[in-house]
Amino acid sequence: MVMLLGKKIGMTRIYDESGKITPVTVIQAGPCTVMQLKTDKSDGYSAIQLGYGDVKRSGVNKPASGHADKAKTSPRKFVREMRLDNSNQTQYKAGDEISVSAFSNVKFVDVSGTSKGKGFSGVMKRHGFGGFPASHGTERKHRAPGSISSYASDAGHGGHPKKGKKMAGRMGGVRVTTKNHRLVSIDEQKSLLIVKGAVAGPSGGYVEIRSSKTEG
């Protein structure tokens, strides 16, 4: 598996020779620095810690600054881990740079980002409920969730809604992974990955890009 951290730039479209349109997302990925190696021995699992995006030294606290010093690099804005098999670890060492060229043999990628926050949303928007008719006597209930429980729903103990009942509430602003984006092209000079389809989060949001476990 290969992984990079990056920033979503935005969406556009590309045409192939037959004029077919492919919607694509442009991601500026890497170069990422290996901040730390985690091993079975010292941490109980093996992984490498990647860092992306510069941040001023005055903007981070001493632990973060010292952590970067250990890898002989500057502090990074966005830091995430990539799990590894034990056998793969020897190819990385702290301070290494990983660029988009690592994806040159990859056809499909998974992308994780933080989705746009939608605030406190009703059930129609949040869970796709159908709501109620616009007319035919419906009053003040057009977007209501309907019945959430009955007296019998907790047999013998009076009624309670079931745990996990889909209701209105905070929506968005959570980690969302979209899988199997076709990797359309790579621009090594500008460190860009162009993937098919939409990726979670706003333009300018930080994302993780991993090669897909399943092909296509």
Question: Would you tell me which residues interact with another protein (CB under 8 A)?
Answer: 9-10, 12-15, 17-19, 21, 26, 28, 187, 190, 192, 194, 203-204
Two tokens, residue 10: 């935005």
What minimum distance in Å lies between the beta carbon of 132 and another protein? Answer: 34
Rounded Cα gap, residues 116 and 13, in angstroms: 22
Query: Could you tell me how many helices (H) and strands (E) the chain has, helices first?
Result: 3, 12
| CB 6 to another protein: min, Å | 12
112 vs 103: CA distance, rounded Å: 16
SS3 label, residue 1: coil
How far is 209 from 201, CA to CA, in rounded Å?
A: 13
Whole-number minimum distance, CB 204 to another protein, in Å? Answer: 6
Q: Residue 22 or residue 121: which is nearer to another protein going by CB? A: 22
d(CA 161, CA 111): 35
Shortest Å, Cβ 114 to another protein = 17
Residue number, 37 or 207, with CB nearest to another protein: 207
Which one, 146 or 204, has the nearer CB to another protein?
A: 204
| Closer by beta carbon to another protein, 21 or else 134 | 21
